[in-house]
Structure 1
Amino acid sequence: MLDRTDFALWKQRIRLYCQGKESEMNILKSIDEGSFQMGTVREPLAEGTEGAPHLGPERPRAYSDLSPEEKDRYNADIRVTNILLQGLPKEIYTLINHYTDAKDIWDNVKMLLEGLELTKEDRESQLYDDFKHFRQHRRETIHDYYVWFAKLINDMRNIKMAMSKMQLNSKFVNNMLPEWGKFVTAVKLNRGLRDSNYDQLYAYLKQHETHANENKMMLDRFSQHTVDPLAL
Structure 2
Amino acid sequence: MMHCIKRTDYECSRIIVKGPLTITTVDVLDNTSVKEEDDYDANNVAKAKNNSRAMSFLQCRITKEEFSHFSSFTSAKQIWDSLELAYNGTSQVKKYRIDLLTQQYEMFHMERDESIDDISARFSNITNELRNPRKTFETEDLVQKLLKSFTEKWQPKVTAIEEA
TM-score computed with the length of structure 1 as normaliser: 0.47
**In the aligned structure 1, how far is the partner of 2:81 from the partner of 2:150?**
44
1:75 to 30, 41, 53: 53
Aligned: 1:28 with 2:4:
no
Give yes or no for contact 1:31–1:106 (8 Å, CA) kept in 2. Answer: yes
- Paired residues for 1:14-93 under 5 Å: 14-21=1-8, 23-34=9-20, 40-41=37-38, 69=46, 73=50, 74-83=52-61, 85-86=62-63
Give yes or no for contact 2:147–2:158 (8 Å, CA) kept in 1. Answer: yes
Alignment correspondent of 1:170: 144
Task: For residues 10-55 of structure 1, give each alpha carbon's deviation from its aligned partner in whole angstroms, at most 9, with x where no partner exists.
Answer: xxxx32221111x331343244222788x6449xxxxxxxxxxxxx
Give yes or no for contact 1:34–1:104 (8 Å, CA) kept in 2. Answer: no
Supply the RMSD in Å over aligned alpha carbons: 4.0
How far residue 123 of structure 1 moved from its aligned partner, in angstroms, is 5.0
Give yes or no for contact 1:136–1:175 (8 Å, CA) kept in 2. Answer: yes
Aligned length: 147
How far residue 157 of structure 1 moved from its aligned partner, in angstroms, is 2.8
**In the aligned structure 2, how far is the partner of 1:118 from the partner of 1:185?**
38
Q: Radius of gyration: which is bigger?
A: 1
Counterparts in 2 of 1:36 and 1:138: CA distance versus 1, 3 Å: farther
Counterparts in 2 of 1:77 and 1:108: CA distance versus 1, 3 Å: closer
How far residue 126 of structure 1 moved from its aligned partner, in angstroms, is 2.5
Partner SS for 1:117? helix
Counterparts in 2 of 1:178 and 1:115: CA distance versus 1, 3 Å: closer
Percent sequence identity over aligned pairs? 17
Query: 5+ residue gaps in structure 1?
Result: 1-13, 43-66, 191-232
| Over 4 Å off, 4+ runs | 67-72, 92-97, 109-112, 162-166
How far residue 78 of structure 1 moved from its aligned partner, in angstroms, is 0.4
- Paired residues for 1:200-219 under 5 Å: none
